[in-house]
Amino acid sequence: MENIFKNWSALRIIRLLMGIYIIVESVREHQTLLALLGGFFIYQSVMNTGCPMGACEVKPKNNHRNSATETVDFEEIK
């Protein structure tokens, strides 16, 4: 059997656990809106829709520039 958590990040697992916890608490407290919030967290984790278009992705440093420091000229304004 293939590992179903193969491409899951830590944040995705946290969303799943939060969703489960929120739904359990909403059932205990008879809160319908809270259950919807928990369902939203579970939906995000299962469908991997937490960051739209990879907005949460950390971009690697761009090392295409020359590593030498560039000189910056400043002009004093009086």
pLDDT in tens, 25-53: 999 999 999 999 999 999 988 887 766 66
What global pTM score does this model have? 0.60
Interatomic CA distance for residues 47 and 77, integer angstroms: 55
Residue 66 has pLDDT above 70, yes or no: no
Q: Quote the tokens at residue 53.
A: 């278009």
Confirm if 38 and 26 have CB atoms less than 8 A apart. yes
For residue 64, pLDDT beyond 60: no
Distances (CA, A) of 59 to 49, 54, 63: 18, 10, 12
What pLDDT, on a 0 to 100 scale, did the predictor assign at position 24?
A: 96
